[in-house]
Chains A and B, each alone.
Chain A
Amino acid sequence: MHIRFGTDTIKSIAREDNGKPVSLLEIEPEEIMLFFGRERESRRLVSIQKVPEHFIQAVLAAEDHRFFQHWGIDPRGILRALITNLRHGAIRQGGSTITQQLAKNYFLTPDRSLVRKFQEALLALVMESKYSKHDILEIYLNEIYLGQKGSVAVNGIGEAANFYFAKPVQELSLSEAAAIAGLIKAPNHYSPYIDKTACRKRRNVILKAMQLRGSISDAQFLEHTKAPVTPAGYTIYGKQAPYFMDYLAQQLTTLYKPEELVSLGLSIYTTLDSQVQIAAENVLKKELSRLEIKAATLKRKSSDKKLQGAVVVMQPKTGHILAMVGGRNYSKSQFNRITQSRRQPGSAFKPFVYVTGLDTFTPITILSNTPRTYNIDGKTWAPKNFDRQAKKQVSVRTALENSDNLATVDLALKIGLQPIIETATRFGFSTPFKPYPSLALGAFEVIPLELARAYCAFAAGGMMPFPLGLKAVVDENGHVLERKHLKIERLISPSKSFLITSLLRGVVENGTGRTLGDKGIRWPVAGKTGTTNNSRDAWFIGYTPDILALVWVGFDNGDSIKATGARAALPIWAELMKAIPHQISHKDFRLPDGIVTRMVCNDDGKPVVSQNCAKPRKEFFLAENAPPESHPQGSIQGVFKKLIEGIKDIFNGD
């Protein structure tokens, strides 16, 4: 192939043999990750011959110094453990030999029961009768769990040597070997990446045990206990799209047994767009840090309490998930806030109220925007508007653009709460909604992925897609074992979907999302902000005809972020869109049949009937409930009408 490049684009692709232009060239898919085992463990197998003697001695000192003397179970070890545990009144020491540990890891569940212990001992005896001590040790050293890099388990000394010290096992120093041996007891507690001091203390305990047993000299002990623990750093283990991979892995386990995933050599094709994914990860990190810099109250010392955020990017017409970022830092928290969390959507839920009412209400229907107290199950509820200066009466369009709570509750009660629940259920929310007026303001928690998917229906002309992450599974011979197809469902008519999109474009052009224009987004976008009580959650869901992205910002524990969706989530959306120009076509939303336009007066939203209207504007209506066309006196239409009537008179004459 001959590829000619422009400044930022590929100018042309042509075949090398005949020079014919090629409009489509499919390149080898990017490899995101490899599945190695049940726990997605990564390992490098090491032969026992290549393991240095000091490493073996360190492992034996740490776990089972009588390994070469016992037959699989060690009565002395069990007795010692029993005495220690009785002395402390709790389980402080296990009496398991290396063979027992291997039996447990390979064949048994990790629960601590007497029956399980008995099975473990029995299996250990069988293994010892069938395999040599060196075989057992080799399997153990390649199997043992030695820590975690993100969601991937580090198994075996080969992988651990590389992960912690970036070298092969045979090159590990005595102190490094002792540090790894020390990890076996509690890999994530003693990990040098988590706590260097704890790791060093544990390493020195191993070195001391080795010295006492004569495996190392006093001089070696002194020299190596002084050495600091210096891990290599694990940025080299950066894993792409970890939250997405977890989401995918969960789906795959419903299709295949874990053993099959490991052993069948399957190729798994996904919908992920790695450029969108990288952009989403980078933008989220950068913007959350920016928020913390702007407001010091958002900073938290503890890494598990930090300000969080989540992003999902979808292709609304296909349901393809192009990017998924379930949190700020996967290595610190694997909780996927897109698929696993349930948060109140706040005003981001309002479009589902408005779409329910479209058969009866038009964008110019006037709603009451005055305070009211509601009695719900004996308790009073008095919603408030975010903007205390809001008008007492507003049109449906203005209410959604400005996200007026009082007008939305007025609309919801006029529509009826049960129909709104039915709409929400049809739009795929799994939330058990109840007919409370607060439903209209997004008081019921939803799963962010479900919210993004529901908005896809507005972006895709009323068709809601099934969210797709997995495309196909192909075996090592190239046979397709599983293919996930595009699945869509019509929820609302194209005209209703267009009308909601038109209202949501108003949000971005005139309402709570109008800052989007200042951030350089100058193509047709519809979107909705969301902020929950006490600013616990900030949302922005925005879409074009081609792409939809949902952004959530908040604290896991529900602390206030002291910012609205427009201030905290919308800038992330804007930066993300600017970072993925290849996904933005700048196309406008298609005007479907069943939509008519009328001139209305901007002041009160009523159809233009006189020349007194200061700011007439075009409004969209469903054809079935549009107001009649009006031609006010003195308007252009009025003048034309008069002229045509005059001409008719002349020709009809006399």
Chain B
Amino acid sequence: METNLKRLLISFLAIVLCSGCVKQIPREETRPLSPREKASLQLTQEGRQLLAEGKPDQAIRLIEQAIGLNPDNGQCYYYLAEAWLQKGNLGEARQFNSLAENYLKKDKNWKTRVVNQASRIAGLEK
């Protein structure tokens, strides 16, 4: 009986504690982008558009500019790898894919895309 009371009390305390914990978890705040980050993203988007149009040379120019503005923009490396793939330079594509992996592995969607890109590169290298 005494044990059952203890179990009940502990379970109650655990619920109270956990509910407190839930309230304590802060929402992830979205940090405002710096002008460099914004500009880098815009260039990346323009580069992506050029890639879609089959213009890898022009895309590389823009994406490299984007990296210069914000080297932590992992998407740049993905698209740069994509551009080198379009140009058939697998060595460069592999290097930039590896960098994209470093920056994007914590983002589920991007991680899958980077892994797929790595497989495509590996497939072409065979």
Contact = CB atoms under 8 A, between A and B. Distances in A.
B64 A23 contact: no
Contacts of A545: 71-72
Interface stretch (B38-46, B47-55, B114-122): B38-46
Which of B7, B64, B71, B103 is most buried by chain A, counting CB atoms within 10 A of its CB? B71
Nearest to B37: A585
Interface string B82-114: 000000000010011011001101000000000
Contact of B80 (A472, A483, A486): A486
Interface string A5-36: 00000100000000000011000000000000
B10 interface: yes
B64 A318 contact: yes
A564 interface: no
Contacts of B41: 23
Nearest to A489: B95
Contacts of B126: none
Give the size category of B's interface with A. 20 to 34
Contacts of B57: 483
A317 interface: yes
Interface string A431-471: 00000000000000000000000000000110100000000
Contact of B42 (A24, A483, A647, A651): A24
A614 interface: no
Interface residues of A, number: 32
A653 interface: yes
B61 A483 contact: yes
B97 to A, nearest CB: 11
Contact of B10 (A10, A317, A460, A650): A650
A377 B102 CA distance: 45
A398 interface: no
A488 B42 contact: no
Contact of B95 (A315, A488, A651): A488
Interface string A50-92: 0000000000000000000000000000000000000000000
A485 interface: yes
A461 B61 contact: no
Contacts of B10: 647, 650-651
A593 interface: yes
Contact of B38 (A23, A461, A483): A23
A650 B6 contact: yes
Given A653-B3, A654-B3, A320 B68 contact: yes
A650 B95 contact: no
Interface string B61-72: 100100110011
Interface string A531-574: 00000000000000110000000000000000000000000000
Given A650-B3, A653-B3, A654-B3, A486 B67 contact: yes
A490 interface: yes
Contacts of A320: 68
B67 A318 contact: yes
B19 interface: no
A158 interface: no
Contacts of B30: none
Given A23-B35, A485-B60, A461 B102 contact: yes
A488 B71 contact: no
A592 interface: yes
B34 interface: yes
Given A318-B64, A486-B64, A650 B42 contact: no
Contacts of B92: 485, 487
Interface in B6-44: 6-7, 10, 34-36, 38-39, 41-43
A391 interface: no
A650 B68 contact: no
Contact of B99 (A483, A485, A488, A593): A488
Nearest to B6: A650
Given A461-B102, A490-B98, A592-B102, A317 B67 contact: yes
A272 to B, nearest CB: 12
Contacts of A647: 10
A486 B77 CA distance: 11
A650 B102 contact: no
A18 B92 CA distance: 41
Given A485-B64, A490-B95, A650-B6, A24 B43 contact: yes
B71 A315 contact: yes
Given A488-B99, A650-B7, A24 B64 contact: no
Nearest to A585: B34
Nearest to B9: A650
B75 to A, nearest CB: 14
A494 interface: yes
A490 B39 CA distance: 27
Contact of A23 (B7, B39, B98, B102): B39
Which of B72, B99, B102 is most buried by chain A, counting CB atoms within 10 A of its CB? B102
A593 B105 contact: yes
Interface in A627-654: 647, 650-651, 653-654
A587 interface: yes
A23 B38 CA distance: 6
B39 A24 contact: yes
A546 B3 contact: no
Interface string A312-325: 00011110100000
Contacts of A23: 35, 38-39, 41-42
Given A24-B38, A651-B10, 9 more contacts: A317-B71, A317-B72, A318-B67, A483-B61, A490-B98, A546-B71, A585-B34, A650-B10, A651-B7
Closest 9 A-B residue pairs measured CB to CB?
Answer: A317-B71, A24-B39, A23-B38, A23-B42, A486-B64, A24-B42, A23-B39, A494-B102, A461-B102
Interface of B: 3, 6-7, 10, 34-36, 38-39, 41-43, 57, 60-61, 64, 67-68, 71-72, 80, 92, 95-96, 98-99, 102-103, 105
Interface of A: 10, 23-24, 315-318, 320, 460-461, 463, 472, 483, 485-490, 494, 545-546, 585, 587, 590, 592-593, 647, 650-651, 653-654
5 contacts: A10-B35, A23-B42, A488-B99, A545-B71, A585-B34
